[in-house]
Structure 1
Amino acid sequence: MNPENVFKPLKPTYSNVVKVEDIKSLVFISGQVAFDKEGNIVGIGDPEAQTRQALENLKACIESVGGTIDNIVKVTFYLKDMKHFEAVHRVRAEYFKKNPPASTLVQISQLVHPELLVEVEAIAVV
């Protein structure tokens, strides 16, 4: 939802406001990065590949508690370099098509591993 008296989202992949009614379970998903199941980094140097892997991990986390990507109401993206914004946005748009969540995106100096470029955490209602 985007109130009339607040600026419109720069990209249509997030909402300024998300109202949740009839809460059953509130799910907090820790920051997900581009690690595969074996702990290998997917897409070294490739922000799109890393974003896709991080979002696939996020999707697996929400599905493990009976939800879907559509249950996510808030995401926070952490980027090592804002120059990767467009690449991250392209991938994010593939995942958050219907009722996009509230979103925050910030640049940080470092992630848990020097080859990682993006991390995403989420809050969901299932």
Structure 2
Amino acid sequence: MAKSYNPPTVWRPFGAFSQTVIAGAGRTVYLKGQVALSAENEIIGEGDMAAQVTQVLTNISEILASMGGRMSDIVSLQQFTTDIQAFMGCGEIRAGFFAAPYPVTTTLEVAALYDPRLLIEITGIAEIPLDRFVSPADAEEMHGPS
């Protein structure tokens, strides 16, 4: 199981994140960047950062759940937003998906995402403990024989 660590020699996290996460003894899951798309590939919350953050985190939660994972299994997040001020106002939404210890998090403001109606994209890495991990039946080998 992953452990959070905030060294006393650097600044204390001021939000829902940790300085470091130490992982081991589980299945590492690398998450593709999620945007505010519904299962039907429709953009949710056009122009509404809160609605898009909620949809993105819901997508991530559902992906993890499909393999026996939880949001607490996330060890690292990278967040890309087109409006850092609007995103920073969504801390309560994030707090509804995460509890301490928080994943390490990097947030960047970018000029644009692949569709101008999208305001946020979040990717991450999770470690699902072996006793909960469920390998998807339709998972495909990424690397064939050499």
Q: Answer whether TM exceeds 0.5 for this pair.
A: yes
Instruction: Give 5+ residue unaligned stretches, structure 1.
Output: none
Q: TM-score, normalised by structure 2?
A: 0.81
Query: Once the 2 structures are TM-superposed, how far is the Cα of residue 65 of structure 1 from its aligned partner?
Result: 1.4
**2-side partners of 1:66 and 1:108: how far apart?**
32
- Between the aligned residues of both structures, percent identity stands at 32
Q: 2:14 aligns with which of 10, 14, 36?
A: 10
Q: TM-score, normalised by structure 1?
A: 0.93
Instruction: Give 5+ residue unaligned stretches, structure 2.
Output: 129-146
Query: Once the 2 structures are TM-superposed, how far is the Cα of residue 21 of structure 1 from its aligned partner?
Result: 3.1
| Map 1:1-126 → 2, pairs under 5 A | 1-11=5-15, 13-22=16-25, 24-126=26-128
Aligned residues: 124
SS at structure 1 position matched to 2:121: strand
SS at structure 2 position matched to 1:52: helix
Structure 1 vs Structure 2 CA RMSD: 1.1
Query: Once the 2 structures are TM-superposed, how far is the Cα of residue 9 of structure 1 from its aligned partner?
Result: 1.1
Larger Rg: 2
